[in-house]
A and B are shown apart, each in its own frame.
Chain A
Amino acid sequence: MSDKIIQITEMNKWFGDFQVLKNINLEVEKNKKIVVCGPSGSGKSTLIRCINRLEEHQQGSIIVDGNELTEDTKDIEKIRAEVGMVFQQFNLFPHLSILDNCTLAPIWVKKMPKKDAEELALQHLEKVQIADQASKYPGQLSGGQQQRCAIARALCMEPKIMLFDEPTSALDPEMIKEVLDAMVNLAKAGMTMIVVTHEMGFAKEVADEVIFMDEGMIVERAETKEFFANPKSDRTKLFLSQIL
């Protein structure tokens, strides 16, 4: 129990009549890097959005860091503050500069003094190599830089878990690399990560385990080497043959 930071049991979710997630069971241990892959519409994004309750599940239980997510979870904000998330469309706040984007939540949610927050933000921006852009606005940066800023913004809350929702899908090939590099560095630093991505190279390099999802179900879960070397289900084999 102690090192299982996320526990999902028997989780079901519907959008109206349509069941998006079917009977999901998933346990993630601390400091593990998990890559979730699968075809579009298979429920990958919905799954990780459920983990910080951007989506509500209807059945089953999700326990994040010892707190169960239910309708009357009072301190959902506290749990969210410990789970960082990076989105496909970056979702930076366009009315704030890069630095303010990073310091906003630490100052107002964690009540950090402004000076400390700025120092922290600059550290994280330095890590993703855009500290020199700190005073610019998101609209003035390239997609790759924006996504790296989004990673820094999430890191500034010093989360225990990082969720990545297709972080490179909206980028062009040259920028994908700079974002992946930032993520690889983060993985090496020992962060617990759940990454939804189609970048199989990234999966091979950093992931401890790979989860393959299709039609709302977890079809296969395996160690990375195992997953790529001899996938068990036919659906996985088909997917891998198309993507590799």
Chain B
Amino acid sequence: MNKLNFLQPDKNNLSTYLYTGVFFVALSIFIVFVNSFFNKDLISFLPGIISFFLPLILGFIGLHLIRIDYSGMKFLDKVNKNINTNNFNAFLSLLIIFVIIKSLPPLLSWFIIDANISGDSKDVCTGSGACWTYIKIWFNRFMYGMYPNAEQWRINLSFIALAFLGTIGFFATEKFKKYLTLYYVVVYPVIAFFFIFFFISGGPIFFDFSYGIIAAVISIIIGFFIPPKFKMYYFIIVPITLYILLKYVFFYEELIELGKLEALEWVETGAWGGLSLTFIVSFFCLIFCFPIGLFLSLGRRSDFPIIKYFSIGMIEFWRGVPLITVLFMSSVMFPMFLPEDMFIDKLVRVIIAISLFEAAYVAEVIRGGLQALPRGQYDAAKSLGMGYWKMHILVILPQALKLVIPGIANTFLALVKDTPLIFVVGLLEIVGMLNLAKTNPEWLGFAMEGYVFASVLFFIICYAMSKYSYNLEQKYKTER
């Protein structure tokens, strides 16, 4: 048997070191565990300060003893490599393990053991834990806001239908794959819009959207017959003219009638709320801010001075003001500049405001990607005879957008988490509903449960988005 040197554990006496080390680590964890879960201090006979640090010291010695390189045991090597590479890391690992063990019992007791979920009034919540009854009673409000209970199936049905339509991409056969982009970029948003416009609202809101969409569709169709030379001016002037004509000259009354579905009760947007409103606002803002940001980023690099300075102005303006002021302006100041009889729904204004605001950020993120591309890519595309749009659509943007997926995901996550700010204009999505509920005299004192509930929901949404963006990154990875 080789000589034991406890300062320098080596492979020769592997089992001795291993058993001693594991014993020490296990002992230290056991002491902390018993202390934390059963509230018994096994080492109280020691003087205060030593009893406080003893588990740490024991664990430290233990980890030192099992730190043997190339021991031949897979598990041990893995442990050493991951949490026990040197003294400092061992110390940190122990500290983290102890903190987890220490914090588990109070968390468990608050979330589960001492929590209440049965019953339907505040009186059942006598324990020291969370009062999930509160969430249960208010669940409908948190999900749908002030939307009438009897009509909530409309929201459910719309969301289920849209979720189902959103998954079509997974089932598309090879033959239809090439239409998927068109579907997701154009058709799907329009379907979503109509669901929300006709079905959830059931009334004549979102009118300006419908004028806008009609104007856009008509101008795109006519656009095919316009010679390329005038196309740029055409697409700036015609849609706006059409929009104004549609709104003030042609069938204004007819459209209002068209917008009403007699069978469905009209629910004004002020009554929408809760998580469903979070989804609606986030969804539309995501859809709108991306193309706007894309055009702003291209515009900023344009050779035409008007387009260039317009883009720079837009980007710097929206980046320079806080979102809360933008929202406030959109609801309070903006209507003052409109003609008397003109009315744009509050929700529409909010969606436009947030979209423009986030578009500025998206634009700068995309510009970062455009700048990262080597000049040779532009040269190669040009030398093959591609014009500006072909070059960008076929060569530059696919690469630049792939580069900035993480940045765009970042912006989108920020957008979703910014939606609670719409409370300043009186729209109450989930956090707004929480704030309302916690001031209800019958249910005072349950703010904590509400915020935990909202955090969990937001975490699920955001984590799903970030996972998705990571998947996209992997999917489009072609280098090496």
Scoring A residues 14 to 58 as 1 if CB is less than 8 Å from chain B, else 0, what string do you get? 000000000000000000000000000000000001001010000
Which one of A82-90, A173-181, A184-192 is at the B interface? Answer: A82-90
- Asked if residues B394 and A108 are in contact (CB atoms below 8 Å), the reply is yes
Identify the closest chain A residue to B228 (Cβ). A74
Chain A interface residue number, banded: 20 to 34
Q: CB of B254 within 8 A of chain A?
A: no
A84 partner residues in chain B, CB cutoff 8 A: 383
Which one of A91-99, A196-204, A213-221, A223-231 is at the B interface? Answer: A91-99
Minimum CB–CB distance for A124 against chain B, Å: 14
Q: CB of A139 within 8 A of chain B?
A: yes
Q: CB of A78 within 8 A of chain B?
A: yes
B377 partner residues in chain A, CB cutoff 8 A: 91, 93
- Asked if residues A95 and B384 are in contact (CB atoms below 8 Å), the reply is no
- Asked if residues B476 and A95 are in contact (CB atoms below 8 Å), the reply is yes
In the bound assembly, the distance between CA atoms of A105 and B380 in angstroms comes to 11
Which one of B131-139, B257-265, B385-393, B438-446 is at the A interface? Answer: B385-393
- Asked if residues A94 and B380 are in contact (CB atoms below 8 Å), the reply is no
B386 partner residues in chain A, CB cutoff 8 A: 77, 105, 108-109
- Asked if residues B383 and A54 are in contact (CB atoms below 8 Å), the reply is yes
Contact partner of A94 (CB less than 8 A), chosen from B382, B385, B479, is B479
- Asked if residues A154 and B383 are in contact (CB atoms below 8 Å), the reply is yes
In the bound assembly, the distance between CA atoms of A87 and B384 in angstroms comes to 12
B220 partner residues in chain A, CB cutoff 8 A: none
B383 partner residues in chain A, CB cutoff 8 A: 52, 54, 80, 83-85, 154
Q: CB of A157 within 8 A of chain B?
A: yes
Scoring B residues 369 to 386 as 1 if CB is less than 8 Å from chain A, else 0, what string do you get? 000001011011111111
Minimum CB–CB distance for B383 against chain A, Å: 4
Within 8 A of B (CB), among A97-127: 104-105, 108-110
Once A91-B376, A93-B395, A108-B390 are accepted as A-B contacts, the answer to whether A154 and B384 lie under 8 Å apart by CB is yes
Scoring A residues 68 to 86 as 1 if CB is less than 8 Å from chain B, else 0, what string do you get? 0000000001101111110
In the bound assembly, the distance between CA atoms of A93 and B373 in angstroms comes to 11
Identify the closest chain A residue to B375 (Cβ). A91
Interface residue tally for chain B (C-beta within 8 Å): 22
- Asked if residues A157 and B385 are in contact (CB atoms below 8 Å), the reply is yes
- Asked if residues B385 and A140 are in contact (CB atoms below 8 Å), the reply is no
Q: CB of A153 within 8 A of chain B?
A: yes
Minimum CB–CB distance for A87 against chain B, Å: 6
In the bound assembly, the distance between CA atoms of A121 and B376 in angstroms comes to 22
- Asked if residues A87 and B394 are in contact (CB atoms below 8 Å), the reply is no
Identify the closest chain B residue to A100 (Cβ). B394
A87 partner residues in chain B, CB cutoff 8 A: 376, 379-380
B374 partner residues in chain A, CB cutoff 8 A: 89, 91
Once A93-B395, A140-B480 are accepted as A-B contacts, the answer to whether A109 and B390 lie under 8 Å apart by CB is yes
Minimum CB–CB distance for B309 against chain A, Å: 22
A104 partner residues in chain B, CB cutoff 8 A: 384, 394-395
Q: CB of B166 within 8 A of chain A?
A: no
Scoring B residues 464 to 480 as 1 if CB is less than 8 Å from chain A, else 0, what string do you get? 00000000000010111
Once A77-B387, A89-B376, A109-B390 are accepted as A-B contacts, the answer to whether A95 and B478 lie under 8 Å apart by CB is yes
- Asked if residues B379 and A54 are in contact (CB atoms below 8 Å), the reply is yes
Q: CB of B398 within 8 A of chain A?
A: yes
Minimum CB–CB distance for B229 against chain A, Å: 8
- Asked if residues B379 and A91 are in contact (CB atoms below 8 Å), the reply is yes
In the bound assembly, the distance between CA atoms of A95 and B403 in angstroms comes to 11
Minimum CB–CB distance for A120 against chain B, Å: 14
Scoring B residues 430 to 470 as 1 if CB is less than 8 Å from chain A, else 0, what string do you get? 00000000000000000000000000000000000000000
- Asked if residues A139 and B479 are in contact (CB atoms below 8 Å), the reply is yes
Q: CB of B36 within 8 A of chain A?
A: no
A78 partner residues in chain B, CB cutoff 8 A: 385
Q: CB of B410 within 8 A of chain A?
A: no
Within 8 A of A (CB), among B187-222: none
In the bound assembly, the distance between CA atoms of A80 and B391 in angstroms comes to 13
B376 partner residues in chain A, CB cutoff 8 A: 87, 89, 91
- Asked if residues B379 and A93 are in contact (CB atoms below 8 Å), the reply is no
- Asked if residues B385 and A95 are in contact (CB atoms below 8 Å), the reply is no
In the bound assembly, the distance between CA atoms of A77 and B382 in angstroms comes to 7
Contact partner of A137 (CB less than 8 A), chosen from B380, B381, B384, B478, is B478
- Asked if residues A93 and B479 are in contact (CB atoms below 8 Å), the reply is no
B399 partner residues in chain A, CB cutoff 8 A: 93-95
For the complex of A and B, the 10 pairs showing the least CB-CB separation, nearest first, are A81-B385, A91-B380, A91-B376, A105-B384, A85-B383, A139-B479, A137-B478, A80-B385, A109-B385, A139-B480
Inter-chain pairs besides A91-B379, A93-B395, A105-B385, 5 sampled, C-beta below 8 Å: A52-B383, A54-B382, A85-B379, A108-B390, A109-B390
24 A-B pairs in the complex with CB atoms less than 8 angstroms apart: A54-B383, A80-B384, A83-B383, A84-B383, A85-B379, A87-B380, A89-B374, A91-B374, A91-B377, A94-B478, A94-B479, A95-B399, A104-B384, A105-B384, A105-B385, A105-B386, A108-B386, A108-B394, A109-B385, A110-B385, A153-B384, A154-B383, A154-B384, A157-B384
